Structure 1
Amino acid sequence: MHLNKVALECRHISLSYGATPVLRDVNLKIEPGEFFALLGPSGSGKSTLLRLIAGFNRHQAGELLVDSQDISTVPPHARNIGMVFQNYALWPHMTVWDNVAFGLVERRESRDAIRRKVGEALELVGLSQYAQRRPAQLSGGQQQRVALARTVVIEPKLLLLDEPLSNLDKQLRVQMREELKNLQRKLGLTTIFVTHDQEEAMTTADRMAVLDGGVLQQVGSAAGLYDYPQNRFVAGFVGTANVLEGRVTSVGGETLSFQVEGLGTLTLPRPADAPAPGPGAIAFRPHQVSIGVRDEQGDASRVWLDGSVESAEFLGEFSRYRVRVGEVALVADQPHYAGIAMFEPGARVRLGIEPGQLRYLDA
């Protein structure tokens, strides 16, 4: 089973429920064969966008293109788009085989074609020997595989997954994440999945779009969004970030001076699109901060800040410190090694940040 790779494009899509805007001027292009994630908090519009692609709701403005054809007015059953719902929506009274065959029977395919395609789909998800069981006799992970087999057996143009792993426990989620990625690679099927879990998106998707308040905040690879967030929301939602509010006081050839409220002036490398003097923010990640005792002489190339530890948490792989610097509280993560004592609350420490890891945010 190898399926067509199609492109999907949203052009200026807007949708409101009554007077409430849910999607605002969404522009997005998903490449053929791409595994693409829609990431955002509850109420961000990500599930609405997924359902809109499936045809379960309609946008009031814009175009929805599959391989350059606008499908906005095509009813859901005629779009040939497969969707796996969060609760799997399996028929409890039917066997696994009959669940998977359901879409093909509806399409009145021949008995031989159904036998061949269902057999292939069950083999693909490793459930051939469970064909005569009912969903209640399967584990959560197996039920999800049945839902996937039922969806891919109709050879859809697109595969849509709505929070596909949220009903599974953590260990199974990690395993299914891997399986999902392998299945998608094997099929070469353009896949869009919705999640609020940044780790899920970062480990599986080729690229992702971050939504908030119905607005597309940023699109890119996991590393691109993590390393170069475009605004405060993306910096805080993709990973953990320290965000310092302040203002740009001067912009030189190579550097930019940034005055942080309650902390002082920091110097960081000038971004490609240099901002004009005025309000903004800078962000950096907790693991990019080194922490040492106050009197140690530090590397001159770093930005050094003196502070005191407010709280310390041991998290196994690393220790997380909350450090008060002036009027600002910063988070610093340090890798844990056996035999290294943690800093106690109240300890006077120095934080070191590489200037190249500081990111200027203008929105």
Structure 2
Amino acid sequence: MKKVSVECKNICLSYGNNEVLKDINIRIEPGEFFALLGPSGSGKSTLLRLIAGFNQHNAGQLLLDGSDITHTPPHKRNIGMVFQSYALWPHLSVWDNVAFGLVERKLPSTQIKEKTASALELVGLSQFAKRRPNELSGGQQQRVALARTIVIEPQVLLLDEPLSNLDKKLRIQMRRELLSLQRRLGITTIFVTHDQEEAMTTADRMAVLDHGIVQQIGTPTALFDYPVNRFVANFVGTMNTLEGRVTARDASKVSIYVDAIGELHIPVNGHVPEGDFLAASFRPHTLQIHPADTRQDPNFIWLPGIIEASEFLGEFTRYQITSGNTLITADQTHFSDQQKMKAGQAVTLALTPSQIRLLPATTTRIG
């Protein structure tokens, strides 16, 4: 099957005065696994349903392999969709659920039999063909929904939060199976989720949406390491920020004064926003926690801190630490018999300068 692209060009959608999608520009490459990530109400599911043909945009173009399908009805788009609820026919067997689309298309019975058998084998459910959906586990029902969609050989596969009804262990297993299946089929796939871990572990690239606006598009690594704004930084993982007044800047570094901490000299890593106030931003795992009297290596930026609280999360312990006027999150890898630091303990935080990203500050005046 030919791999196709999907492109949204200046897509806008409103319900009355409520703008749901605002000037959406996304190009999804042929054969790509692409995720739409965002909180509830961000517009991601609306955009997915628009691509499927269930919603109609007010402005812009929707292109499938370069051809505008804006006015093409859903059943003629050759796009398959797996819904969050799976939407299986409860009175039909697994076999009949999977074969349903082929029967509707009036294919010859021999082709229906061959294609249905192949789809069930592809998702590992051949032995469950005679069962009803209520006799299957959640993961098996999801596979039936996938088989029912891929059996019609769509050019694009749409997945609307298909893992949300599964427990954590099964979600991990199923997202791996989803990715493996997508790689075998080579089908252009668009996956909607509010779970950043699901998006980051499956997607080739992803778009982060908020209030109907695309905030950033890129690979999971690029969005995690180089977020363009505070929303992306905090939605794709956890981000600490120290807001400060810019005291100097040149091509290689920016100096900012942080109230109750002092001046920080930060090397330029990527784009540096304009403005008199910036936020020095860094991930919890990039911090090292040391005793308060540790000799300070000049290769690091050092921050004074007081332990406020901690959470043991298995692989690591997450500490909440006050530094100056800011509460900072720091993750420390856990080893057996390791002593947890106590609330009120004075510490020093070491931060590698290259791990800091400078983002726009939320304030215009500090101190």
Q: Secondary structure at the match of 1:53?
A: helix
Q: Give the counterpart of 1:284 among 270, 282, 298.
A: 282
Matches of 1:287 and 1:81 in 2, distance apart? Answer: 41
5 Å-filtered alignment, 1:134-153, equals: 134-153=132-151
1:353 matches 2:351:
yes
Matches of 1:97 and 1:107 in 2, distance apart? Answer: 16
* 2:3/2:188 contact within 8 Å kept: yes
* 1:247/1:277 contact within 8 Å kept: no
The share of aligned pairs that are identical, in percent, is 61
1:75 aligned residue? 73
Q: Secondary structure at the match of 1:239?
A: coil
TM-fit CA distance, 1:248: 2.4
Matches of 1:274 and 1:344 in 2, distance apart? Answer: 37
Cα 1:76–1:107 change in 2 (3 A) is: same
What whole-Å deviation, never above 9, does each CA across 1:268-294 have from its counterpart, x for those lacking one?
Answer: 112444444412322100010000110
* 2:311/2:319 contact within 8 Å kept: yes
5 Å-filtered alignment, 1:159-198, equals: 159-198=157-196
TM-fit CA distance, 1:262: 4.1
* 1:15/1:21 contact within 8 Å kept: yes
* 1:209/1:220 contact within 8 Å kept: yes
Q: Give the counterpart of 2:17 among 13, 16, 19.
A: 19
Which amino acid in the other structure matches residue 72 of structure 1?
T
Matches of 1:360 and 1:19 in 2, distance apart? Answer: 36
TM-fit CA distance, 1:189: 0.3
What whole-Å deviation, never above 9, does each CA across 1:236-281 have from its counterpart, x for those lacking one?
Answer: 0001110222332211232111223443321111244444441232
- Structure 2, gaps ≥5 residues long: 362-367
What whole-Å deviation, never above 9, does each CA across 1:294-321 have from its counterpart, x for those lacking one?
Answer: 0010321100011111112221111111
Matches of 2:302 and 2:181 in 1, distance apart? Answer: 47
* 2:31/2:186 contact within 8 Å kept: yes
5 Å-filtered alignment, 1:115-154, equals: 115-154=113-152
Normalized against structure 1, the TM-score is what?
A: 0.97
Cα 1:136–1:148 change in 2 (3 A) is: same
Cα 1:25–1:261 change in 2 (3 A) is: farther
- Structure 1, gaps ≥5 residues long: none
Q: Give the counterpart of 2:213 among 212, 215, 222.
A: 215
Which amino acid in the other structure matches residue 293 of structure 1?
P
5 Å-filtered alignment, 1:177-326, equals: 177-326=175-324
2:95 aligned residue? 97
1:85 aligned residue? 83
Which amino acid in the other structure matches residue 45 of structure 2?
S
Q: Secondary structure at the match of 2:88?
A: coil
What whole-Å deviation, never above 9, does each CA across 1:201-238 have from its counterpart, x for those lacking one?
Answer: 11111111100110001111111110111100010000
Matches of 1:262 and 1:194 in 2, distance apart? Answer: 42
Normalized against structure 2, the TM-score is what?
A: 0.96
Cα 1:332–1:101 change in 2 (3 A) is: same
Which amino acid in the other structure matches residue 39 of structure 2?
P
* 1:248/1:276 contact within 8 Å kept: no
Cα 1:275–1:167 change in 2 (3 A) is: closer
5 Å-filtered alignment, 1:16-55, equals: 16-55=14-53
Matches of 2:334 and 2:141 in 1, distance apart? Answer: 39
Q: What is the Cα-based RMSD across aligned positions, in Å?
A: 1.2
What whole-Å deviation, never above 9, does each CA across 1:75-106 have from its counterpart, x for those lacking one?
Answer: 11111100000000000000111101111111
What whole-Å deviation, never above 9, does each CA across 1:114-170 have from its counterpart, x for those lacking one?
Answer: 011001100000011111111011111000000000000001010000001000111
Which amino acid in the other structure matches residue 255 of structure 1?
K
State how many pairs are aligned. 361
Matches of 1:37 and 1:249 in 2, distance apart? Answer: 40
* 2:273/2:359 contact within 8 Å kept: no
* 2:272/2:359 contact within 8 Å kept: no
Which amino acid in the other structure matches residue 101 of structure 1?
A
